[in-house]
Amino acid sequence: MTNVRYTRDPAKPARLGAEAKTRLKAMSDADVASAAETDLDNLPLSGRALLRLKAAQVAKSVRAKAGLSQTAFADAFHIKVARLRDLEQGRVTPDPVLVSFLALIEEDPKRAAELVGKVHAAE
């Protein structure tokens, strides 16, 4: 048996067929919600899982805005690279201090770097 790989083409998003569209249109909002909640292949996310995903988006966005690799970003702001990687991949629930620090970095990266420099210069 050979393995088959499927790579989705972003230029050609998946489309619902006519039969699926007809079935979906016949469903009420409550029916759609009920079907989604019982779909074993796509169970609803818990509040904690949603928090992890949001934090991952924020971390990736802030780092991308800074134009730095994970290692360079972690070094610049004295964050453990493994912690940053786990956060960006949604594997950990973020602590509020790290989320606040990322917000500061996004708002004023130079000021955040200055504050980090002052703290670590005193060590």
- Cβ neighbours of 21 (radius 10 Å): 11
Which stretches of the chain score pLDDT less than 70?
1, 122-123
Show the domain range for 61. 47-121
Side-chain-side CA neighbours of residue 90 (13 Å): 11
What's the pLDDT at 88?
94
Q: List Cβ neighbours of 24 (8 Å cut-off, separation of 6 or more).
A: 16, 32
- pLDDT per residue as tens digits for the range 13-36: 888 899 999 998 999 999 988 888
User: CATH code at 114?
Assistant: 1.10.260
CB 92 within 8 A of CB 83: yes
Contact 93, 54 (CB under 8 A): no
How far apart CA 44 and CA 27 sit, in angstroms, is 19
Q: Are residues 61 and 106 in the same domain?
A: yes
Could you tell me the pTM of the whole model? 0.63
